């Protein structure tokens, strides 16, 4: 294997050894040996990281309150210049090193922040390694400091000083700042070609994150330039993210501090459905999120829900989930944490567990206060989230439906089904029985070989009024459809029918009729071919029992009753009106209603599908007025109204 670029570079460094730079080399040698450890990689990302690292030092100076302007220039020779109007790196002697502070900062690892702990409490930079790392990875570097009326300069090659710190001019009174120019070492980096757009977008981000700080970039190779300064900080950031979208309200800005951690959040909903959330820790873009982001999301979800609840803005049982709060949300969460721990694949995820609670406790109350002061905005947000919740629920049901389709296709039979032993559909029939007790008698009465029984508990769902997803979350309907086995709707396949006949067996009272109509509505809407093929029948249990002496007569309609009563003469005959199937014992049920040799069945048919459709809609649908008219028109035809 060929020597790595780093090894080669290291050899050259060794060649440059001399007594005066030994100490320095010992520091920066490791940087050149393992650049990845300091700047992540030696690809284009690592290359740009050099600029960010240099800029971060200037940003730190801005955070300390001394710098208002940072400029970045990509020079025509491909090198980069970063300059700021901060205090300037001090160049007085440090006795313990026998060097100027400037040289120490530029050549010793981690030396940058040691001077001024207080103002550098929160250090920027992914690795926070300091400008010396940039120096170590640059073929050439020059630093120029304006400070105390003087201009000082020093130059380096691969991190090794090649000139002393020289005074090269005078600075105007009050003028100060630091300028570094560096040419990345081509023996270390895969590419040394800076990309203007990549640099620009990170610099814009930094400008958003540092309210009021002016950051400009100019590319001498192409003439392109940008200047960023956002006095609205991350609030402007959110506006920028939403610039081509329809915002639902002005951006909301929340902030606070707790236990040395500062929190800023800006958010604005737009009409789209996609979230666009950026989170930062000490200006580092945490692309993998982390505890600060989860704190924000927890607070957001809780606050929206409690506002909605307090003001009665949600349907009963409706709840907005964390996911629902993300639809169309553009947000920026920026925290400053004293000792951030970064995790994850790319070290872009904040790990500090305490930060979640801090963010939550700052965002929650301040958002809640904002909602109370801005009810219009709060309502718009709740409405947006509630819509998302409805859509999510519908989507879940649709997914569920797909899952249930397989269920319908016979993989699992309902527990309540007492199936028959024959597996030949042509000789099998299914009794759908109203109520568990009648179901029990029916199970005892049946011929187990070819008769199956499925008891249904009370009234099934009115499918005419329910959305698809509701229909298929109804236990009774799922049981019914699974037992029949054909599938429903577009997936219906009569060849999969498990029974040649499905017999509806309901009580002879108003509830029984209602249940029968509900069942027929379901078959008509979801299994119409089953009706068309004549598979659906209605059982005819007797309406009366007439007992004369030791003989029982079962009577199925009023005309027959009158006839019979005349025949046995009325005296001494006992008349029983059956209201429910449960009033018959299993033997009676068998002989009157279930025995194919003696029973009567009514086959359901749809001669006029259009009319049937109209009637089902009329009887079972949403509109009340036409139903009332229908009932009034047909009231006179009703004979066996049982109340």
Residues that bind ligand 0RA (CB under 6 A): 57-58, 61, 84, 86-87, 89-90, 105, 112, 115-116, 131, 178
How many CB atoms lie under 10 A from the CB of residue 367? 23
User: In angstroms, rounded to a whole number, what is the distance separating the alpha carbons of residues 462 and 320?
Assistant: 28
Instruction: Write down the least CB distance from residue 127 to ligand 0RA, Å.
Output: 15
User: In angstroms, rounded to a whole number, what is the distance separating the alpha carbons of residues 277 and 326?
Assistant: 9
Instruction: Write down the least CB distance from residue 237 to ligand 0RA, Å.
Output: 24
The number of helix segments (H) and strand segments (E) in the chain equals 20, 26
Instruction: Write down the least CB distance from residue 361 to ligand 0RA, Å.
Output: 34
By C-beta, is 144 or 476 nearer to ligand 0RA?
Answer: 144
Q: Residue 42 carries which DSSP code? A: S
Indicate the residue whose CB is closest to ligand 0RA. 57
Angle between helices 354-373 and 291-310 in degrees, nearest 10: 30
- Those residues whose C-beta lies under 8 Å from the C-beta of residue 325, and which sit 6 or more positions away, are 297, 300, 301, 304, 385, 388
Instruction: Write down the least CB distance from residue 254 to ligand 0RA, Å.
Output: 31
By C-beta, is 149 or 596 nearer to ligand 0RA?
Answer: 149
- Those residues whose C-beta lies under 8 Å from the C-beta of residue 62, and which sit 6 or more positions away, are 68, 70, 84, 86, 210, 213
Instruction: Write down the least CB distance from residue 131 to ligand 0RA, Å.
Output: 6
Nearest to 30 by CA among 124, 182, 159: 159
In which residue are the tokens 């730079």 written?
Answer: 21
Residues labelled catalytic: 434, 507, 509, 511
DSSP 239-281: HHHTTTS-BSSPPEEEEEEETTEEEEEEEEEBSSS--EEEEEE
By C-beta, is 87 or 235 nearer to ligand 0RA?
Answer: 87
Helical spans, DSSP H, in 452-509: 468-471, 475-484
By C-beta, is 92 or 339 nearer to ligand 0RA?
Answer: 92
Instruction: Write down the least CB distance from residue 90 to ligand 0RA, Å.
Output: 5
By C-beta, is 203 or 527 nearer to ligand 0RA?
Answer: 203
How do strand 573-577 and strand 544-548 relate by DSSP bridges?
Answer: antiparallel
Q: Which residues of 314-348 are buried (b: 16+ CB within 10 A; e: fewer)?
A: beeeeebeeebbbbbbbbbbbbbbeebebeeeeeb
In which residue are the tokens 């086995």 written?
Answer: 485
Instruction: Write down the least CB distance from residue 31 to ligand 0RA, Å.
Output: 17
Nearest to 89 by CA among 5, 147, 140, 31: 147
By C-beta, is 112 or 290 nearer to ligand 0RA?
Answer: 112
User: In angstroms, rounded to a whole number, what is the distance separating the alpha carbons of residues 140 and 155?
Assistant: 7
How do strand 99-100 and strand 261-269 relate by DSSP bridges?
Answer: unpaired
In which residue are the tokens 């509505």 written?
Answer: 521
Asked if 238 contacts 269 with a C-beta cutoff of 8 angstroms, the reply is no
Torsion of CA 341, 343, 348, 350, to 10 degrees: -50
**Phi-psi category of residue 59: left, alpha or beta, with phi > 0 → left and psi -120 to 50 → alpha:** alpha
By C-beta, is 82 or 266 nearer to ligand 0RA?
Answer: 82
By C-beta, is 57 or 521 nearer to ligand 0RA?
Answer: 57
Instruction: Write down the least CB distance from residue 72 to ligand 0RA, Å.
Output: 12
Instruction: Write down the least CB distance from residue 338 to ligand 0RA, Å.
Output: 19
By C-beta, is 113 or 275 nearer to ligand 0RA?
Answer: 113
Instruction: Write down the least CB distance from residue 165 to ligand 0RA, Å.
Output: 14
Q: Residue 418 carries which DSSP code? A: B
In which residue are the tokens 């820790």 written?
Answer: 281
By C-beta, is 47 or 145 nearer to ligand 0RA?
Answer: 145
Nearest to 163 by CA among 173, 153, 175: 153
* The dihedral sign for the CA sequence 247, 272, 240, 126: positive
Q: Residue 489 carries which DSSP code? A: G
């Amino acid at each position: 294997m060929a020597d790595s670029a780093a090894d080669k570079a290291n050899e050259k460094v060794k060649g440059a050894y001399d007594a005066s730079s030994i100490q320095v080399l010992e520091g920066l040698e490791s940087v050149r040996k393992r650049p990845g450890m300091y700047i992540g990689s030696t690809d284009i990302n690592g290359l740009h990281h050099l600029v960010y690292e240099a800029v971060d030092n200037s940003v730190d100076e801005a955070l300390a309150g001394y710098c208002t302007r940072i400029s970045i220039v990509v020079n025509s020779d491909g090198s980069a210049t970063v300059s700021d109007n901060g205090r300037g790196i001090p160049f007085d002697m440090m006795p313990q090193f026998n060097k100027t502070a400037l040289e120490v900062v530029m050549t010793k690892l981690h030396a940058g922040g040691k001077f001024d702990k207080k103002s550098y409490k929160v250090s920027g930079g992914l690795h926070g390694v300091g400008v010396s790392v940039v120096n170590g990875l640059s073929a050439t570097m020059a630093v120029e400091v304006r400070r105390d009326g003087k201009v000082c300069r020093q130059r380096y090659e691969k991190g090794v000083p090649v000139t002393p710190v020289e005074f090269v001019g005078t600075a105007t009174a009050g003028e100060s700042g630091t300028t570094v120019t560096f040419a990345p070492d081509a023996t270390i980096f895969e590419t040394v070609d800076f990309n203007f757009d990549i640099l620009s977008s990170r610099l814009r981000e930094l400008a958003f994150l540092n309210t009021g700080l002016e950051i400009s970039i100019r590319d001498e190779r192409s003439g392109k330039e940008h200047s960023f300064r956002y006095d609205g900080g991350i609030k402007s950031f959110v506006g920028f993210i939403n610039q081509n979208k329809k915002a639902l309200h002005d951006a909301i800005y929340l902030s606070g501090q707790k236990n040395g951690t500062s929190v800023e959040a800006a958010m604005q909903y737009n009409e789209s459905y996609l979230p666009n959330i950026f989170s930062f820790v000490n200006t580092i873009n945490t692309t993998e999120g982390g505890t600060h982001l989860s704190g924000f999301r927890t607070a957001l979800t809780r606050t929206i829900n409690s506002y909605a609840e307090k003001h009665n803005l949600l349907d009963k049982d409706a709840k907005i989930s964390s996911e629902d709060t993300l639809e169309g949300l553009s947000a920026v969460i920026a925290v400053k944490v004293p000792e951030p721990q970064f995790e994850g694949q790319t070290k872009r995820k904040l790990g500090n567990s305490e930060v979640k609670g801090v963010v939550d406790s700052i965002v929650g109350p301040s958002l809640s206060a904002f909602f109370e002061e801005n009810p219009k905005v709060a309502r718009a947000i709740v409405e947006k989230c509630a819509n998302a919740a409805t859509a999510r629920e519908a989507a879940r049901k649709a997914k569920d439906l797909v899952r249930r389709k397989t269920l319908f296709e016979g993989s699992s039979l309902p527990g309540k089904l007492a199936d028959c032993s024959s597996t030949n559909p042509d000789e099998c029939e299914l009794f759908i029985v109203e109520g568990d007790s009648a179901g029990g008698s029916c199970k005892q009465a049946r011929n187990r070989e070819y008769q199956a029984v499925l008891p249904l508990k009370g009234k099934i769902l009115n499918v005419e009024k329910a959305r698809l997803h509701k229909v298929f979350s109804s236990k009774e309907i799922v049981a019914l459809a699974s037992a029949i086995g054909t599938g429903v709707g577009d997936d219906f396949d009569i060849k999969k029918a498990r029974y040649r006949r499905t017999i509806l067996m309901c009580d002879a009272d108003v509830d029984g009729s209602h249940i029968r109509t509900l069942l027929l509505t379901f078959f008509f809407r979801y299994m119409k071919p089953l009706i068309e093929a004549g598979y659906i029948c209605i059982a005819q249990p007797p309406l009366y029992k007439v007992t004369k002496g030791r003989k029982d007569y079962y009577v199925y309609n009023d005309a027959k009753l009158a006839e019979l009563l005349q025949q046995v003469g009325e005296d001494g005959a006992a008349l029983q009106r059956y209201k429910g199937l449960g009033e018959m014992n299993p033997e009676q049920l068998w002989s009157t209603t279930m025995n194919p040799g003696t029973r009567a069945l009514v086959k359901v048919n749809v001669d006029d599908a259009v009319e049937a459709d109209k009637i089902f809609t009329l009887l079972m649908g949403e509109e009340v007025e036409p139903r009332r008219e229908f009932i009034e028109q047909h009231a006179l035809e009703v004979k066996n109204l049982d109340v």
